[in-house]
Chain A
């Protein structure tokens, strides 16, 4: 066991799940939310030549996905260090 005790292992996993849940909520909101479910109301707003909902479906969601993964990596490296389970 890499952790000092069972309690620490549980807390590590809990923090991991929390980071994951928050990031997946954003993942869902941007793609399925802004790009699909809310596309019509968002299309009333324009961003340069883009209707906003259309932009989320064809551009914005992809940029967000990239950012989400890098935030996840940074967060997890921090948590690994905190619990002393990094490689």
Chain B
């Protein structure tokens, strides 16, 4: 069977599964809609968190980026996993004990202030929208490449599926669908990785094959081979970086702290029954994430070698265009691989210097990896189903945060406090509908800035929520004036820096012009430090925190007495 038939079959089966789960797990109350009734098993929650967290970017793009930048790719690997340690140790158990539905709930109650709540709502909605637009685009790309439907049609199909289970099932439907999506995506990612590892190094564990010797009998280590090829062809050394150390440091920190401050991740820890479950489910989530995150750099290195070898040929002089490898001809059709015969010898050549004739898009590395390693068609189709699972699960989690923010934080806790539970549930469903449509619209007409604003989402989460929550838990005398001033200072600084270098003066976006050599991707870390400093300074000169709030902080510091997450 050809790739397209296989893709229809596998994608069809997985979609039927997601819809079946949605019907089985309908939400009947706001408690079920927002936090799945607080009854999710920690292992299931860990899996759902992992699927929620790993987006189209993790699944499709990350290994490709690492393949091209080598060591520097570590910022994503460490940054997007290290945040879970902060979550488990500093946030999840306390927020679970606090026992409300949303991050703005915590900020609003802890800082006894409607202003603080509104600042938090604004950030939650902004961060989530930024993110969700990219997911819908990812769904469209997978559909158009593998099913050859129009990209807009692909987005509309994706919208219908998400609509179905997010609007009907709320958090309960999303959680159980995400468990299924995790299984699909991890299977889809691991199968080609394991096959490739066996073929290249003889070791079925990609994490070990990564550091092993090549199976061609030469006894050369895989990584030495990549470094050797890089030196010969004028690329940067694969195992050394080209970014400055200070920038790597700040980007890693911004991604870690941003991860710990993202509302759609934090909210997952409200769904488990107990405080100890919140702690352990962060551990499960990280195990499930680590399976993909430790495999991705191996996939990246395998693909690097395969790519260079298959283009430049065994004699390293380039292969003749008529004998071009299959993946090159397949992907040339999509425009994501381009060959220009600069020296007119009719041979393709790939290098990091002026001899280079190839233009290869980073996003194709994972999707082309089965073709690079000559794996069967069903493996390619499996990857398509996995990419869709990754994009849809993340989109659903984000849409839930948006609908919760509107129905619960803006209406119930803001403008319409007299709503009944039924009305609130209806409002939540309607705002989910609105959010799906808005996200789909942004997927079809992507604002040019989607790619640039991902750094923004992390920077904003790092410089706003994270310090406010940490101070709220660990510094019980922190008052509302300090917290609000800190959040505003952090957001304003981070926004100004990113907007300046990304939108106003993109031509100045070079290391010489950056403050302390920190790129816009890493500036959230400085924004976070600024938030802490301003908050503590303002706190010193303003009124003391009321005693009942201090008592509340005392009470979230130990597990005993945590009930199900509730309204009041």
Contact = CB atoms under 8 A, between A and B. Distances in A.
B434 interface: no
Nearest to B42: A73
Given A31-B252, A43-B239, A69 B84 contact: yes
A77 B557 contact: no
B211 A48 contact: yes
B274 interface: yes
B549 interface: no
A61 B560 CA distance: 33
Interface string B75-98: 001100110110011100100000
Nearest to B92: A69
A-side interface mostly: helix
Contact of A59 (B207, B245, B252): B207
Contacts of A65: 81-82, 84-85, 286, 290
Where chain B touches its partner, the secondary structure class is helix
B559 A54 contact: no
A49 interface: yes
Contacts of A59: 207, 210, 294, 297
Given A31-B252, A55-B211, A86-B276, A23 B290 contact: no
Interface string A38-75: 01000100011111001101110111011011101100
Interface in B271-319: 274-276, 279-280, 282-283, 286-287, 290, 293-294, 297
15 contacts: A20-B89, A27-B85, A48-B212, A51-B223, A55-B211, A59-B210, A61-B82, A65-B290, A66-B290, A68-B89, A69-B84, A69-B89, A69-B279, A87-B559, A87-B562
Given A69-B88, A70-B283, A76-B276, 5 more contacts: A9-B558, A35-B252, A58-B297, A59-B210, A68-B89
- The 8 residue pairs across chains A and B that have the minimum distance between CB atoms: A49-B221, A57-B74, A69-B283, A49-B211, A85-B558, A85-B560, A2-B560, A58-B297
Interface of B: 66, 71, 73-74, 77-78, 81-82, 84-85, 88-90, 93, 207, 210-213, 221-224, 239-240, 245, 248-249, 252-253, 274-276, 279-280, 282-283, 286-287, 290, 293-294, 297, 554, 557-562
